[in-house]
Amino acid sequence: MDTFFPKFSKKRDGVNVIMEQKLLTSVSNLILNGQTCTGCGICAESCPEEAISLGLVGAVRRGVVDYAEPINIDEKKCSYCGVCVVMCPFNSLTLKVDGEEALPIIEREGFPEYDMVTKIDQDKCVRCTICEDVCPRDAISREVPAFEGTVDGALEKQSVLAAKTTFTVDDEKCTRCGICSELCPAIDVKRKPFSAEFGAVVGDVVWDEKLCDACQVCVEACPEEAITVERTVESAKLAGKVEIIEENCCTCRWCDINCPAEAITVEKIFEGDIEFNAEKCPSGCSTCVEVCPANAIYLPTPKAAKDMKGEIEPVIAVNKDFCILCGACVNACPGEDIITLTRTNIRVKGKETDLFLRIKDKLCTPRTSMVKEAAKDEVELKMMETA
Ligand code: SF4
Ligand code: SF4
Ligand code: SF4
Ligand code: SF4
Ligand code: SF4
Ligand code: SF4
Ligand code: SF4
C-alpha cells in the first residue's frame, strides 16, 4: 500500500472541480466553481506557484469544444495558499483545510483583500425591481412582501399605505337611502325607528376607517352626492429590504447607474481602460459578448444606410460604465489586437505585501487579445510591451 504523503487528487462534483492535497496531519482542498468562473485569468496571474492555466473559455462559448472548465489547476503544483481565492473577483474559488474554509496566505504572512464598496441607502431605496433585474450576477437580494394577485396569502395592496382617510356626509343632502351601506361594509346606515312623529326616514351614517380603502365607490354611487372621502398618503413605501450580496457582486455598477432613487453606491475594484478595435473584429463571433460577466459588451443596433454618412459601422462595442476590467473578453477573443485592456490600479484594503505588489504589477501590465493554443486545453495570452 502506498503510504507516502503528500497525496494529490482532482475530481469533478457537479459544477465544482475539487483539487486535494493530503498530508499526514491535514487535508487541503481548493474548489473551483466551474459555473461562476468567467475565465478572467486573474487567479492564473496571481498564483505564486504558476499552478493555474487558462482553459478554452472562448472556444467553449464559440461551440468549438463541448465543455471545459475556464481554468485548469494543477493539484500537484498548488501549495494551497489561498492567494487565488482572495484575488478571484467572482468568488469562484474556495479553499478548505480539514473541511473548514481557510486562507493560509492571510494567516501566515498577511495579504490585502479587495476594498469593495457596495452600499444601498435604505432610507432612499424605494424597493423597486430595477437593481434586481439589471444585475448580471444575481447579486441583489430583494426581500419585499408579495401583494395580492401574485401568490396565495399575499398582502393587500392597500397595506402598503400609511394614510389618513376622512369621510363626511352632508346631512342636508343625505336621504338615508342605504345604498352606500349596501355597497360597502365600512358604512352602516343606522335608521331610527320609523315614527309618525317625524313622518320621515331619519338616522345616522356610521363609517369605520379601518374597513375603508378610500375607493370612492360610495362617493360615486350616492344619488344625492352627499359623501366626500379624502385620503392623505403619508408613506407608500414598500416594506422589506433590498441589499447587495457582496460575494456575488463584481462591482459592474449596473445597479448604481440605474437606481431611480440614487440609493446605491458601488465602486469598481479595478481602475484603468479598455478599447475595442472594432474594425479588426470579424462580425458574428460575439464570443466576448457571451463571456462578459458584466454585460458590458454589445452588438450596436444597425443604423439605416441614410444615417451612415460614409461611416463604417462598428460591429462590436463596450460600454465602459459597466466594464470591470476583468479581462475575460481579452482571454476569449480569437482576434489579434482587437481588445486592449490596461489596469492602472486595484482597490484593496490591508497591507500591500511584496507578493501582492508583484501580482499587482502583473495584473497592471497592459494586454491585448490573441488567444492561441499553448498546450492541450490551454491558451496563452499576448502581453504588451510596457513603456
Ligand atoms: Fe496557486 Fe495558491 Fe491558488 Fe494553489 S492556492 S492555485 S498555489 S494561488
Ligand atoms: Fe475563474 Fe477568474 Fe476566478 Fe480564476 S479569477 S477562478 S478565472 S473567475
Ligand atoms: Fe430600486 Fe434603487 Fe432600491 Fe434597488 S436600490 S430597489 S434600484 S430604489
Ligand atoms: Fe449586481 Fe453589478 Fe450591482 Fe454588483 S454592481 S450588485 S454585480 S449590478
Ligand atoms: Fe366604502 Fe369606498 Fe366609501 Fe370607503 S370610500 S366608505 S371603502 S365605498
Ligand atoms: Fe469575437 Fe473578439 Fe470580435 Fe468579440 S471582439 S466579437 S470576441 S472577434
Ligand atoms: Fe470583463 Fe470588461 Fe471585458 Fe466585460 S468588457 S469581459 S467586464 S474586461
- Residue 224, C-beta contacts closer than 8 angstroms, at least 6 positions apart: 170, 173, 174, 175, 177
Of the pLDDT bands very low, low, confident and very high (cuts 50, 70, 90), residue 4 is confident
Of the pLDDT bands very low, low, confident and very high (cuts 50, 70, 90), residue 157 is confident
Give me the interface pTM, i.e. the ipTM: 0.93
Is pLDDT of 380 > 70? no
Ligand 7: residue whose CA is nearest its atom 3: 329
Which range has the worst mean pLDDT, 62-76, 204-218, 333-347? Answer: 62-76
pLDDT value at residue 185 = 97
Of the pLDDT bands very low, low, confident and very high (cuts 50, 70, 90), residue 5 is confident
- Residue 200, C-beta contacts closer than 8 angstroms, at least 6 positions apart: none
Ligand number with the minimum distance to the CA of 189:
5
In the chain the domains, ranked by start, together with CATH numbers, are: 116-144+243-268 (3.30.70.20), 157-235 (3.30.70.20)
Which range has the worst mean pLDDT, 51-65, 227-241, 248-262, 338-352? Answer: 51-65
Q: What is the dihedral of CA 121, 123, 128, 134, to 10 degrees?
A: -10
Measure 84 CA to ligand 1 centroid, in angstroms.
6
Measure 34 CA to ligand 2 centroid, in angstroms.
9
Q: What is the mean pLDDT of the chain?
A: 91
The predicted model gives 17-30 an average pLDDT of 96
User: How far apart are alpha carbons 323 and 338 in whole angstroms?
Assistant: 16
The predicted model gives 97-112 an average pLDDT of 97
User: How far apart are alpha carbons 316 and 301 in whole angstroms?
Assistant: 10
pLDDT value at residue 313 = 73
Lining ligand 1 with CB less than 6 A are 30, 47, 49, 51-52, 73, 78-84
Of the pLDDT bands very low, low, confident and very high (cuts 50, 70, 90), residue 354 is very high
Which range has the worst mean pLDDT, 62-66, 138-142, 311-315, 374-378? Answer: 374-378
